Amino acid sequence: SQLAEENSWALSVHEGESVTVNCSYKTSITALQWYRQKSGKGPAQLILIRSNEREKRNGRLRATLDTSSQSSSLSITATRCEDTAVYFCATPDDTNAYKVIFGKGTHLHVLP
């Protein structure tokens, strides 16, 4: 069952601009993760935000979690060309705590 989905397939911004990737999920969750996958690499976690947190930061990254609307966002400020990547949200499977369900990803292109 697909629990988490990003809301955009692709986004383009110019270097220096800010961008937000959104994610919606379908059931109550205990935590939500954001991952980034650069071309030719495996995904790498950016932020893990738990259900009792509303916001979490990691450098230029800021994740929010709204449990009432079952949505999350990942904002990147002062984007750089090296932020070009696919961004995934991921949640624990609601029927199996050992599993993580990944969204299909948002392709972000940061243009010079």
Partner 1 sequence: EAAVTQSPRNKVTVTGGNVTLSCRQTNSHNYMYWYRQDTGHGLRLIHYSYGAGNLQIGDVPDGYKATRTTQEDFFLLLELASPSQTSLYFCASSDAGGEEEQYFGPGTRLTVL
CB of 15 to partner 1, least distance (A): 26
Identify the CA nearest to 46 among candidates 97, 38, 107: 38
The least distance separating partner 1 from the CB of residue 78, rounded to whole angstroms, comes to 25
Q: Residue 79 or 103: which CB sits closer to partner 1?
A: 103
Do residues 22 and 73 touch, judged by C-beta distance below 8 A? Answer: yes
Could you count the other beta carbons within 10 Å of the beta carbon of residue 26? Answer: 14
**Cα-Cα end-to-end distance for the chain:** 38
Q: Pick between residue 15 and residue 31 the one whose CB is nearest to partner 1.
A: 31
**Nearer to partner 1 by C-beta: 86 or 110?**
86
CB of 104 to partner 1, least distance (A): 4
Q: Which residues are 78's β-sheet partners?
A: none
> Given the rule CB under 8 A, which residues bind partner 1?
30-31, 33, 40-45, 48, 88, 90-93, 96-100, 102-105
